[in-house]
Structure 1
Amino acid sequence: MKSFSQANQSAKEYKLDTSHSSVEFSIKHMMISTVKGNFRNFESQISFESISKIFNSLKASVDASSIDTGNDARDNHLRSADFFEVETYPNIDFVMSSYDDSSKTMSGELTIKGNKKPVELKATINGVIKDPEGNERVGFTLKGKINRKDFGLTWNKAMEAGGLMVGDSVDMNIEIQMVAS
């Protein structure tokens, strides 16, 4: 397992290319469909070794108020105290603690609504290239799953026919393109 404390001298700092990156999620709704959404505003600091394709460090912050599911009423409810409580907890933060190259697993701590929990994300390096201007770019995908209740997102409503309105399991899909700084 390689952690950022074991950083290699060949590691570079990268800037996030937000126009070619996304932070998306999906969750069951009424047990019969899946609602997908994303966060429009986010930033990160990344140290990466492009030759060995190893992450040395990654810190990310998401603006919780930028949630977008395509439904204004639902988005406002998600921003409220029932869910993200964005007035009190404006950011969702992730700090990588280690990266296991053999399993392509990034471990770290995710903080939502002041609740900090360990999470594991599967990492796929999509490629390292030079763009037309000669800048080195790296693309990667992170996927993971969390239980929303672990992070204080506990609101729900019982359905008349049984079951609950909102599922507990949240699938995360993060697409990142970064450019060497």
Structure 2
Amino acid sequence: MKKFSTLLALCLLGSVSVFAGNYNVDTTHSNVGFKVKHMMISEVSGKFDTFNGSFEYDEKTKTLKSLNGKIDVNSINTANTKRDDHLKAPDLFDVQKYPSITFSLDKVKGDKAYGKLTMHGVTKNVILALENNGVVKDPWGNTRVGLGLSGQLNRKDYGITWNTALEAGGVAVGDVIKLDVQLEGILTQ
């Protein structure tokens, strides 16, 4: 009877792991975007063109188990070369000293993702809204998972403080950065 109990326990544990899978972020179908107030009257959008990541997702429970991502800050793209060059400069992102932004998931609770975001040499705990878009098989037989992460942070919390006062009042760049990350992962074999 003891052997049967051990075998049953191993089968149950094995069946749980059958549904969990490791995924690599498909960067051609993913986006790491942001928005920030400009001159207090509009928002400027941007994105990072170069990033990578991986995550573990349990199909049975439809739960994100882990997520790690890395962004190449030098790939910032706001569709304006002059602005992008300034964003990379020492008074803002300082890409020579801080070339990457990283995120590591700590836990998921309901529709919230809790993790650590490191930017400009500073690590902070963040809470992001998590959108679970589910699992599909693509036409080539690959299993894919879609996830969305959104939220906001204060750039000054990460030591990115540059700004210019406007003659009419206010500042050139807002402090609050809105994040919009759309990830599509492919199950690794």
Give the structure-1-normalised TM-score.
0.93
- What's 2:160 paired with? 153
1:13 and 2:13 matched: no
1:52 and 2:48 matched: no
Check conservation: 2:62, 2:134, Cα contact below 8 A.
no
Number of aligned residue pairs: 172
- What's 1:24 paired with? 33
- What's 2:122 paired with? 115
RMSD between superposed Cα atoms in Å: 0.9
For 1:28-107, what aligned pairs fall within 5 Å after superposition? 28-100=37-109, 102=110, 104-107=111-114
Given residue 47 of structure 2, which amino acid in structure 1 is its aligned partner?
Answer: N
1:129 and 2:139 matched: no
Instruction: Indicate the structure (1 or 2) with the bigger Cα radius of gyration.
Output: 2
- Quick one: distance in 2 between partners of 1:72 and 1:134? 40
1:165 and 2:172 matched: yes
Deviation per residue, 1:121-157 (Å, 9 max, x gap): 1111112101111111111111010000001110001
- Quick one: distance in 1 between partners of 2:45 and 2:134? 26
- Quick one: distance in 2 between partners of 1:141 and 1:45? 14
- Quick one: distance in 2 between partners of 1:120 and 1:56? 15
Q: Note the residue ranges of structure 1 that are not aligned, 5 or more in a row.
A: 1-7
- What's 1:178 paired with? 185
Percent identity over the alignment is 42
- Quick one: distance in 2 between partners of 1:51 and 1:179? 17
Deviation at 1:51?
Answer: 2.2
Give the structure-2-normalised TM-score.
0.89
Given residue 25 of structure 1, which amino acid in structure 2 is its aligned partner?
Answer: F
Q: Secondary structure at the match of 2:28?
A: helix
Check conservation: 2:54, 2:185, Cα contact below 8 A.
no
Given residue 29 of structure 2, which amino acid in structure 1 is its aligned partner?
Answer: H
Deviation per residue, 1:91-126 (Å, 9 max, x gap): 0000111111x2x11000100011000101111111
Given residue 67 of structure 1, which amino acid in structure 2 is its aligned partner?
Answer: I
Deviation at 1:52?
Answer: 1.4
Please say which of residues 144-153 and 10-19 is displaced more in the overlay: 10-19
Q: Note the residue ranges of structure 2 that are not aligned, 5 or more in a row.
A: 1-15
